[in-house]
Amino acid sequence: MSTKSVVLLDYGSGNLHSAERALVRAGAQVQVTADPEAALAADGLVVPGVGAYAACMAGLREVRGERIIGQRLAGGRPVLGICVGMQIMFDRGVEFGVETEGCGEWPGTVAHLDAPVLPHMGWNTVKSPADSTLFAGLDADTRFYFVHSYAAQQWELPDNEHIAPAKLTWAEHGVPFLAAVENGPLSATQFHPEKSGDAGAQLLRNWIGSI
């Protein structure tokens, strides 16, 4: 089986070095770039993201990343969002009372978690569906590493008889929130698989094996 090519989208926001190392260890041939041709041609595209929603969207738009994501998904080409790279797939994010338009691949709003301690930083279990591709081979008590104060707390995409329903994975910190989504060619995790040890490595292998 040939090695899968993955572009790690470099738009000025993301833990690029650790994500690159993790993807390489998981078996991918990785290129870190914002070049549209490379990003569209690769077997998989990973969209990282750390920091503020608005800053990530500004950086993404500078390299026309939202168009790259949209073009790939329109052609059924796999995309994986990580942390804020997951959040920006939704319609909008609200931080400090400021609303920022996202990529709009999924309806809904990313908002502040109602929790006694923020940021949510550290290891947490998740509840994934039995038929998940991302979490295949992982035990129910497996923990993943989170660092965030905002998340999508509802899933608002209506079911469509022509498309398989999304596979939703939930976690809880003060309130339930989406820890991961698998929706056709678009997958995303709120946690950092590249910082989640053996469990994160297995998840990345699962994703790479599916593209």
pLDDT of residue 69: 98
Q: Which is the catalytic residue, given 120, 148, 173, 192?
A: 192
Per-residue pLDDT tens for 143-158?
999 999 999 999 999 8
Residues in the chain: 211
**How far apart, in whole angstroms, are the C-alpha atoms of residue 155 and residue 93?**
14
Domains and CATH numbers, the chain: 4-210 (3.40.50.880)
Q: Where are the beta strands (DSSP E) in 1-131?
A: 5-9, 29-33, 44-47, 79-82, 90-95, 98-101, 106-112, 120-125
List the chain pLDDT tens, one digit each, 211 residues: 689 999 999 998 877 999 999 999 999 999 999 999 999 999 999 999 999 999 999 999 999 999 999 999 999 999 999 999 999 999 999 998 899 999 999 999 999 999 999 999 999 999 999 999 999 999 999 999 999 999 999 999 988 877 789 999 999 999 999 999 999 999 999 999 999 999 999 999 999 999 9
Q: Which tokens hold the place of 84?
A: 């804020």
For the question of residue 192 being annotated catalytic, the response is: yes
What residue type is 178 in one-letter code? Answer: L
What residue type is 188 in one-letter code? Answer: A
8 Å CB contact between 196 and 144:
yes
Q: Which is the catalytic residue, given 56, 83, 103, 120?
A: 83
Phi, psi of 193 (to 5 degrees): -60, -30
Cβ burial 3-32 (10 Å sphere, 16+ → b, else e): ebebbbbbbebbbbeebbebbeebebebbb
Per-residue pLDDT tens for 155-191?
999 888 777 899 999 999 999 999 999 999 999 999 9
Predicted structure pTM score: 0.96
Q: Which is the catalytic residue, given 20, 66, 105, 194?
A: 194
